[in-house]
Each structure stands twice: as structure tokens, then as C-alpha cells.
């Protein structure tokens, strides 16, 4: 027999001066292969058209549907209701600005992050559209790709104790982004340049190693290994700078 699911959903519309933050419950019959994406859409269609939440790809690629599911940040489209108890609590991701209900603005946050870490290839070479593409070892390309898989859903930021306490912390997504350019042979930035971006408590040294980022990442990015690697690398740069090379 199909379960009856009770959804406790955070409701608040910051645009509406009458609105106050509160939890609202909705009941739905569970269907086969139901995901939170399906459930939320049914609630919106059948029970409350004013419910706000973000979706785009339904396939764990766009990163828009990050939310706190029974306490853990995760993607709604990736989460099957059969893996959850009948009582499901949904909250918007903390840290990011609330748009309304379950919808948050991760875009502005990540936009600011790109500016801070200068998230593009820094090179003095002039691009020649007629020239054949520069070759790169398969191994290097694969390791760059591995770090480029981040969909910027914001789950690692919402799960991070440091990011919750200090708003200037770059978080795993930001630090990982620097790691991605650091191994890219096309980027001409030096170790010192990277150190200037993440060699502080706002970057890698602010990480307290709680590893919630590693544990909630829906794309299973190698965040623990990446953070460890960058802490050692930036730690060595810090010592070099301190002792005057």
C-alpha cells in the first residue's frame, strides 16, 4: 500500500510584508519512483500554487534544487521519497539569500565567488581561432574535469560550519574552484597568486575540517582530498613567505 507522506515545508515570502516565516504541512500519497521534485510539483499543482522552489534540469545537473531535506542539504530531484521517512521536512539552504519558501539565490553568491577567485584561465597568450587546439595530457584533462564537475548547487556551503559562522568564507566550492585552475597548465598564475586568493582564513585556513561538504555533495566531488591537498600546498607557501623563501 502506498504511504501517505507528510511534507513540512518552510514558508516565507520576504517580498510580502504580511508574510512571516512558518512551517506548513502538506499530505501526499506516495507514487512509484517519486522524487522530491515530483512531490513538490504535485503540491504546487494540486494544493498550493504559491509554493516557491527552484527547478530546471530534473537530473542533478543544473544545481538549482538544493534544499535542506530532513536536516541535510541535498538536491530535491536526486532524492527519492522511498529513501525518506513518511515525515519529510524541507527548509531552504541557509547562507544564501532567500527568494521565498524553498527558493534561494545561489547565483549572486557564486557570481561574487567567481570575482574573488577570478574563475577564468589567466593567460597572456593571444587566442588564435585558426590554430589547432593546444594538446593536454589525458590524465591532466581528466583531473581538471573531475574538479569541474561541480554544479554549484550550494549544498557544501550550506552544510559548512565555517560558512555558517563567517560570511566571507569561500567554502569547499570556492576553494575547489581555485584547485581546478591550479592544476590547469593553461593558467599562468603562480602559486603566490593562488596563495593571495585562498591563503587566508577566508580560504583554505578557515576550513575546520568538519567534512560535511564531502558528505553532502550530491556529485560526490573529492572535496576532502582537494581541501587536504590545498591546505598542504598553501601551508608550504605560507612557510616559504614567512621564512623569506
Partner 1 sequence: MSLSSTANHPTLNARRMDGVLDWAQMLSGVGLIAFMWAHMLLVGSVLLSPAIMNDIAEFFEKSGMAQVGGPLIFLLFMAHFVLAARKIPFRLENQKTIWEHAKLLHHADTWLWVVQASTAMVILIMGAIHMWAVLSDLPIVALKCAETLQKNKWWLAFYLLLAPLVHVHLGIGLYRIAVKWGFAGRAERKGLKRFVNVLILVSVGISVLTLFRFWFMEA
Question: Cβ 74 to partner 1, closest distance in Å?
Answer: 11
| Nine-digit cell string for 153 | 548547487
Distance in Å, CB of 167 to partner 1, minimum: 5
Minimum CB–partner distance for residue 25 and partner 1 (Å): 19
Residue with C-alpha cell 527568494? Answer: 99
Instruction: Pick the closer one to partner 1 by CB: 80 or 232.
Output: 232
Chain residues binding partner 1 by CB under 8 A are 68, 71-72, 91, 94, 109, 112-113, 116, 159, 161-162, 164-165, 167-171, 174, 195-196, 199-202, 205-212, 214-216, 222, 224-225, 227-229, 231-232, 234-235, 237-239, 241-242
For residue 17, report the phi and psi dihedrals to the nearest 5 degrees: -65, -20
> In terms of CB distance, is 42 or 222 closer to partner 1?
222
Measured from the CB atom, is 11 or 58 closer to partner 1?
Answer: 11
**Dihedral pair phi/psi, residue 124, rounded to 5°:** -95, -10
Burial string for 15-41 (b: 16+ CB within 10 Å, else e) reads eeeeeeeeeeebebebeeebbbbbbbb
Residue 228 C-beta: closest distance to partner 1, Å: 2
* Closest CB to partner 1 among residues 65, 159: 159
Q: How far apart are CB 7 and partner 1 at their closest, in Å?
A: 17
Our CB check for partner 1 shows the closer of 38 and 212 to be 212
Residue 65 CB, shortest distance to partner 1, in Å, is 19
Q: How many angstroms separate the CA atoms of 128 and 115, rounded?
A: 26
Nearer to partner 1, 40 or 216 (CB): 216
Amino acid at each position: 500500500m502506498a504511504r501517505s507522506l507528510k511534507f513540512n515545508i518552510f514558508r516565507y515570502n520576504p517580498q510580502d510584508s504580511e508574510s512571516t516565516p512558518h512551517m506548513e504541512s502538506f499530505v501526499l500519497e506516495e507514487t512509484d519512483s517519486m522524487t522530491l521534485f515530483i512531490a513538490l510539483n504535485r503540491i504546487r499543482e494540486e494544493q498550493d500554487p504559491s509554493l516557491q522552489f527552484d527547478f530546471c534540469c530534473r537530473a542533478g545537473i543544473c544545481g538549482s534544487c538544493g534544499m535542506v531535506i530532513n536536516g541535510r542539504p541535498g538536491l530535491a530531484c536526486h532524492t527519492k521519497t522511498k529513501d525518506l521517512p513518511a515525515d519529510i521536512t524541507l527548509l531552504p539552504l541557509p547562507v544564501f539569500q532567500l527568494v521565498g519558501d524553498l527558493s534561494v539565490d545561489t547565483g549572486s553568491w557564486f557570481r561574487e565567488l567567481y570575482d574573488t577567485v577570478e574563475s577564468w584561465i589567466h593567460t597572456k597568450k593571444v587566442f588564435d581561432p585558426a590554430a589547432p587546439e593546444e594538446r593536454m595530457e589525458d590524465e591532466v584533462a581528466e583531473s581538471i574535469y573531475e574538479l569541474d564537475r561541480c554544479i554549484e548547487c550550494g549544498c557544501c556551503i550550506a552544510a559548512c560550519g565555517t560558512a555558517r559562522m563567517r560570511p566571507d568564507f569561500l567554502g569547499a566550492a570556492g576553494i575547489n574552484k581555485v584547485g581546478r585552475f591550479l592544476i590547469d597548465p593553461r593558467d599562468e598564475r603562480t602559486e603566490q597568486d593562488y596563495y593571495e586568493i585562498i591563503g587566508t582564513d577566508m580560504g583554505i585556513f578557515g576550513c575546520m575540517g568538519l567534512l560535511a561538504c564531502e558528505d553532502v555533495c550530491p556529485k560526490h566531488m573529492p572535496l576532502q582530498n582537494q581541501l587536504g591537498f590545498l591546505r598542504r600546498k598553501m601551508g608550504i607557501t605560507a612557510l616559504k613567505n614567512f621564512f623569506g623563501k
